[in-house]
Amino acid sequence: MTDTNPINILQDKFYKIKPAVRWCFFSILISGFVFHFASMTQKYFNYFEMGNIFSHMPFLQGDTLALGRWFLPVASNLFTYYSMPVWNTVLVLCYTGLAMGMVVDLMDIKSRFLGVMFGLCFASFPGIVCVLSYGVNSDDFSLALLLAVLSAYLVEKTKFGVIWGAIPLSMCLAAYQPYMSVTIGVIYCILFAYVIDKRPGFKQLVMKSIKAVAMMAAGFILYYAILKICMSVTGIGLSDYHGVDSMTSFTIKGIVKGIVYAYIYLLRYFLTKAYLYSVTAIVAHGLAIVAFVVLAVKLALSGKKETSWVTLVETIILIVVLPIGVNASPVLMADRVGAGVDRYMLFSLMLIWALLVFLLDRSSYEKGTRAAIWVGLAAMVVTIFVSNLVDQKAYYRMDATTQSVEAMMNRLAMRIEETPGWRGDMPVCLIGSNAIINDNYDVTVEELESVENMPGTFYRQGYSDEAVEQYFRVFLHFPMEHAGEEIKQNILKTPEYRKMKTYPDASSIKIINDTLVVKFEEE
């Protein structure tokens, strides 16, 4: 008789999941609560969050469609369109855990311990801090990461994978385009595992690669077709932000440049202080590279002598192109790579640890590999420690930024209240809130500036008039009625305004035409 108890059914399905996959997921979830505890217990305010305070992202928001992200407003409405630290962090960790669990499944990792180690490496990745710093959109970026991995999972695990994989890939591109590099990275991991485990001939390897390329091409075509339809219906054009308006434009020079940058950014991340700030981690990574090559070559030669040379050549080829395989973002950006590659675009680089875990899982503890195994494990431990240290430094800076924002807003509120003639029902005209941090507040704190390449965690201009007004109303319970564009234009023409200096000068706040005016920068 079939068991119809839903609890038993779910329990049965849960235990059918490979142990290493389960352990990887829960290691990311649990360790993530520790590594990113600060994100769950503190409401941070930075330039991005200030622009999205209790901000609802509607289905056809113009700026998201202009960036080519037609799925982003949909993703925002799946669970929450509010910035809620605990919920956002939980969603980010769950999406990340599910994604990396699929990677462990695809590579058929059998060791629970190694599943946990890979989970810890990924959960401590500082790029997650950058994603979480985007508050209301953090879970959307992580959903894009999950969709990127799901597309590779479906092309490998389903009969019509080219079709099924294209659907989540198109949605991934429509949420955050750079995460297509994660799809490429996972496919690279699949091919690497395929060579070591199945020892295919060149023809079989090429055919498997072509299937994956076909899925990615189908996914991009589907994404672009839907984008064109949305643009045609709404009349919205693509933005020139990071070259989005020319996203299908590639030149030979741009592609070559992207390939070169793929190698450069991989080496910068693992072998320089640009991202790690730690000589210890650089040394550990250097040794891990040696261990990686030793284990890969050893496994390639461990099969039958008549076929091992084919496997060895395939393995060497894969190692040579590894920087492109796990770091395709610069290649995808091609001519636009000069716009920069931020840390949260480098999630695919963390798949290197999946490759190392795979090699450790397949290697036997014998003479010739013992040292490499220990070095590989030690490198992972060092990476987890150093990455978590970077995480906490970034959260420390985010806390300092938040306190600075709160202090500035409180001081501004006090200045407004002290202005002779001010009334609570008086319209307020904020001119140039983007420069609320101007030359008068140009203070450098070396301890905070030392954490580089952590977008979203630093102190910078970008505070819109609407964001400041919303902050006053919501968090300070301060009456601030928006003056409107017509009133603003009339004020800009007055002699009184032209005599005003920028905030925080004593003349930066005045009442003009029964409107309170605060001048942050020259219009």
pLDDT tens per residue across span 24-42: 999 999 999 999 999 999 8
Mean pLDDT of 287-309: 87
Q: What percent of the chain has pLDDT over 90?
A: 50
Q: What is the CA radius of gyration of the chain?
A: 26
CA dist 521 → 156, 404, 470, 481, 508 (Å): 55, 19, 20, 20, 9
Kindly indicate the confidence band of residue 246, based on its pLDDT and cuts at 50, 70 and 90.
low
Q: Which of 1-5, 291-295, 313-317, 503-507 has the lowest mean pLDDT?
A: 1-5
User: 153-212 pLDDT, tens per residue?
Assistant: 999 999 999 999 999 999 999 988 889 999 999 999 999 999 999 999 999 999 999 999
User: 384-407 pLDDT, tens per residue?
Assistant: 999 999 999 999 988 988 888 888
Mean pLDDT of 451-476: 80
Residue 262 pLDDT > 50: yes
CA dist 183 → 25, 108, 281, 457 (Å): 19, 18, 27, 27
Burial of 391 (0-12, 13-18, 19+ CB in 10 A): buried
Please choose, from the candidates 96, 98, 95, the residue with its C-alpha nearest in 3D space to the C-alpha of residue 22.
98
Kindly indicate the confidence band of residue 440, based on its pLDDT and cuts at 50, 70 and 90.
low
Please choose, from the candidates 484, 515, 506, 510, the residue with its C-alpha nearest in 3D space to the C-alpha of residue 496.
510
pLDDT of 52 reads 63
Look up the pTM and report it: 0.89
* Mean pLDDT, the chain, whole residue set: 87
CA dist 476 → 81, 364, 479 (Å): 22, 62, 9
Mean pLDDT of 330-336: 76
User: 479-503 pLDDT, tens per residue?
Assistant: 888 888 898 899 999 999 999 988 8
Query: CA 414 to CA 417: how far, in whole Å?
Result: 5
Q: Which of 213-217, 330-334, 451-455, 504-508 has the lowest mean pLDDT?
A: 330-334
Query: CA 506 to CA 164: how far, in whole Å?
Result: 63
Residue 79 pLDDT > 80: no
Mean pLDDT of 439-454: 74
Kindly indicate the confidence band of residue 6, based on its pLDDT and cuts at 50, 70 and 90.
confident
pLDDT of 59 reads 41
Residue 58 pLDDT > 50: no
pLDDT of 458 reads 80
Kindly indicate the confidence band of residue 437, based on its pLDDT and cuts at 50, 70 and 90.
low
> Quick check: 129 and 454 in contact, CB under 8 A?
yes
Cα angle value 410/38/448 (rounded, 5°):
65
Mean pLDDT of 68-72: 83
Q: Is the peptide bond before 504 cis (omega within 30 degrees of 0)?
A: yes
Residue 60 pLDDT > 50: no
Residue 56 pLDDT > 80: no
pLDDT of 467 reads 79
Q: What pairs with residue 431 in β-bridges?
A: 519
Q: What percent of the chain has pLDDT over 70?
A: 89
